[in-house]
Structure 1
C-alpha cells in the first residue's frame, strides 16, 4: 500500500509540472488544435435596428395655422378652453365676407374728391323709411319715452338709427360672426381690430350668449343696434326690465342699448343734433376754418368749421332756420354739398352720432330721418 501511495504522489507531481515544462521544453510547445481557415466575427451585442415607415407630418398652413394662433390669443385673453375647442378650430374661411369688405367704396386716402350728399340723402331718407318709422314710433312711444327718461336721448334719433341700421329690425344680417371676424382678421388689412372683435365675440359666449345668436353683418355688427362684439360686451342695456340685455330678441333692449351708447358718447339731453342754416354769400370761410386735428376720422372732421356760439354765427351771417338752438349753444358749420348747397349748424350731439358711425353722410341722414319721423 505504501508503494501505491508513493506512486500516486509522484504522478501528481508530474502532472502539476506539465505547464511549466511545456514552456521550457526544448522540443517546443505542446501541439495546438488545428484552426479553421474561416475567420470568426465577434457577435455584436447592439440591438437590431428596424426601419418603420411613418406618414410625414405636415404643419398647418394658411387659415388652419391662423386658427391655432387665434386659439392661443383667446387663451391669453382668459377665454375658457371649452369655448375655444367648440368654436375656433372648426371655423371655415368665409371668402364672401372678405370680398364684401374689399369692395367697400372709398377713394384714395389723399383724394380731395367729395361726392355730393343729395343722392345719399335720397337713398337713406326715403318716404317708405319715414312712413314706417312714424308708424313704429307711434306704436312704441310709451317705451321710447321711458328710455328717454333714463338716458336723455331723443326718441326720434333712436328710431332713425334703428331704421338705418336694420330697417326697424327687419334686416340684422345672417353671417356667422366668429367666421366672418376670423376671416377678415386673416385677410389682414385691419387685423388688430378684427382680432380684438373676434376675442370679444368669444367672451360673449363665455358670458352665456349662445353661438347661434351671434349672427350679423359681414363686418361683424350684430343685433338690433348692429353693435360690434366689444360694444355689446360694454354697452348693451336692458330696456324691458327682465334683467337681461338681449339685443337680438328684444326691441326694447336694442333701443335702450342705442341710447346707452349715445349717452356714453356724450349726448346732451334737450339739445338738437343740428339745424339747417342760411349762409351769407360774403362769409369768409378761411376765417372759420378749424385748426384742430381729430384723433380719428380725420377726413370726416376736417370738413367742419371751428366751434362758435350760435349768436356768433348769426353775427357773421350764418342764420339757423327756426329757433331750436339757443344763441349760447356752440356749433360747427358743415356744407356737405359746398357753398351752394344746404348748410347745417351742428352741435355736440351730432358728434355723438358720428361716434356711432363716423360718416358725415350717415350722421346727417340720421338727423334728417329723425326730424321727418317726428315731423320737425
Structure 2
C-alpha cells in the first residue's frame, strides 16, 4: 500500500492539527476523538486508484441504471412524495433529481460506506497529495462530534462522505437541515433530513427552479461538430437550424440556451444540456457521473431510455495514454498522463480533429491516434 509522501512525523503533525482545530473552535470532545485517530492505508490505496470514471457514459450508466433500480426509484418517489414535495417547495429541486443522486451515491441509502470517517479524513489530511482539500473537512467533522450531531465511530466513503447522499462534513455542518423536525440532523438514517439537505445544497449551487436539465435529441444531419461543447450554449432555434430535433418532432419552445452533449461522439447518444446540468457537474466533477445522474433523473421523470446509436469504438486506457503523450508532444497541457478522458484531453482532441480536417466531435478514436 502507498504511504504518505511527505509528512514524516505523525505525532508532530497531530500536535499542529490539534492547535489548528482549537483555533477553529473545536472543543475538547472533538480534540479527544481526534487523538484516537490513525492512518488507514486502505484509504490511501483507494485515493491512488480511482478507476470507475475510466468508463464511458454508456458503460457507467449501464452499470448504475437498471430496470430494477428505475422501479425502486419510482417507488421511492411515491413512498416519500410528501418529502419530495416539501423539498421542491423549499428549494425548487424536483424529486427525480434527488432520487437520481440517491441511487448513484448509495443505492437509495443501502450502501453508505464502511470506512471509519475520522481515520479516513485524518489519513487524507496527513497525506501530501491534497491536504488543503481535506483538512477543512476534518475540522468540520470534529465540530460535528462536539455538537453530538455525528457519532465518533461513524462510517462512510473512503474520502469522508457521510450518509444517504454522501455529503462531506463541511456541507453536513453548514447546510444540514432537520427535515423531519425531530431536533437533529441525521443524514444517515432520516430520508427527510437527507433530501432536504441535498435540496438546499443543490439550490445553493445554483439550481434554477422549474427549468430543465437534460433532453435527449436526434441529429438529422452533419453540423459544425466543434460547437458541441458543454460551455457553448445556443438557443433552440440555432440547434434546430442545424438539424437537431426532439425525439418526436421539432424542438419545443426555448427553455433557455442549451449546449449539445455528445458523450461518445457524433454517432452516439445526443443530448441538449441546460444550465441546471452544470449543477450536476458541481455535485461531481466527472462528466460521466454528471451525465449519468442527469439522464437517470430524466428517466425517473418519465423519459424513455436513450438511443445508444452506433458510436465509433473509443480507445482503451493504454491507448488514451499514448494519445495524451502525443498530444503533450504537440504542446497541449495534459497534466498527468493517466489514460483518463478528462476535459483537457477532450479539448485537445477537438483541436487536433479541426487541424486534421476530421469531424471535431471531441471523441478520441483509433483513426485520430493513427493520424497523429
Q: Same fold (TM over 0.5)?
A: yes
Change (3 A) 1:268 1:239: same
Q: CA 1:115/1:179 → structure 2, altered by over 3 Å: closer, same or farther?
A: closer
Counterpart in the other structure of 1:102: 48
Q: How does 1:1-376 map to 2 (within 5 A)?
A: 62-84=9-31, 86-105=32-51, 116-212=56-152, 214-286=154-226, 288=227, 303-321=229-247, 326-376=253-303
**Deviation, structure 1 residue 331:** 1.0
CA distance in 1 between counterparts of 2:114 and 2:79 reads 27
Q: How many residues align?
A: 296
- Post-superposition CA distance 1:252-307 (Å, at most 9, x none): 11011111111111111222211011224320123x26xxxxxxxxxxxxx52511
Larger Rg: 1
**Residues of 1 paired with 2:150 and 2:217: CA distance?**
49
- Unaligned 5+ segments in structure 2 are 1-6, 304-372
Report the aligned-residue RMSD.
Answer: 2.2
Separation in structure 2 between the aligned mates of residue 98 and residue 134 of structure 1, nearest angstrom: 37
- CA–CA distance in structure 1, aligned partners of residues 18 and 158 of structure 2: 21
Q: Say which SS state the counterpart of residue 212 (structure 1) adopts.
A: coil
Contact 2:213–2:273 (Cα < 8 Å) also in 1: yes
Aligned-partner Cα distance in 1 for 2:79–2:141: 33
Query: Residue in 1 aligned with 2:314?
Result: none
- 2:88–2:95 Cα contact (<8 Å) kept: yes
User: In 2, are the aligned partners of 1:74 and 1:199 still within 8 Å (CA)?
Assistant: yes
Q: Relative to structure 2, which stretch is displaced further, 87-96 or 75-84? A: 75-84
CA distance in 2, matches of 1:257, 1:213: 22
Instruction: Measure how far apart 1:313 and its partner are.
Output: 1.5
| CA displacement at 1:226 relative to structure 2 | 0.6
CA contact (8 A) 2:218 2:246 kept: yes
Separation in structure 1 between the aligned mates of residue 255 and residue 162 of structure 2, nearest angstrom: 39
SS at match of 1:138: helix
Instruction: Tell whether the 8 Å contact from 2:117 to 2:153 is kept in structure 1 after alignment.
Output: no
Residues in 2 aligned to 1:175 and 1:115: alpha-carbon distance in whole angstroms: 24
SS in 1 for 2:258: strand
TM-score with structure 2 setting the length: 0.74
Tell whether the 8 Å contact from 1:68 to 1:89 is kept in structure 2 after alignment.
Answer: no
- Corresponding residue for 1:13? none
Distance 2:41 2:255 in 1: 52
